[in-house]
Amino acid sequence: MTVLIAENTPPAVRGLLKRWFVEPQANVFVGTINRRTREKVLGYIKRHALMTNWLVLMSEPNCQGFRIERWGTPSRKDVQISGLWLIAESWIDSKSWPF
């Protein structure tokens, strides 16, 4: 399964994504596609949606079952702590982290 969360998606890219993904909410795309198709779609996005921020969650054979990739500076940031991916809604200064 692949989940793409975007900010300010151009209409042409949004239309292309609707071929393979369901859009349950604006700029959130969910679908099950094979790895090759996913890589081609993500390559297209990287070339044609330069000013868009993306957060992508992809199925992966690890303990959580997914991995995270991002482009640009999405409003929510991902961080990997002790091998686990987490999403931070608000980001604090890294100097004040307890770990």
pLDDT score recorded for residue 71: 81
pLDDT higher at 12 or 72: 12
What Rg value do the Cα atoms of the chain yield, rounded? 14
**Cα–Cα dist 70/37, whole Å:** 18
Tens-place pLDDT, residues 17-69: 999 999 999 889 999 988 899 899 889 888 888 788 888 889 888 778 888 88
CATH number at residue 57: 3.30.70.240
Stretch 78-92: mean pLDDT, rounded?
74
Report the domain count for the chain: 1
Instruction: List the domain range (segments joined by +) for residue 60.
Output: 2-96
Question: Binning pLDDT at 50, 70 and 90, where does residue 98 land?
Answer: low
This prediction's pTM: 0.74
Pinpoint the alpha helices (H) of the chain.
11-17, 35-48
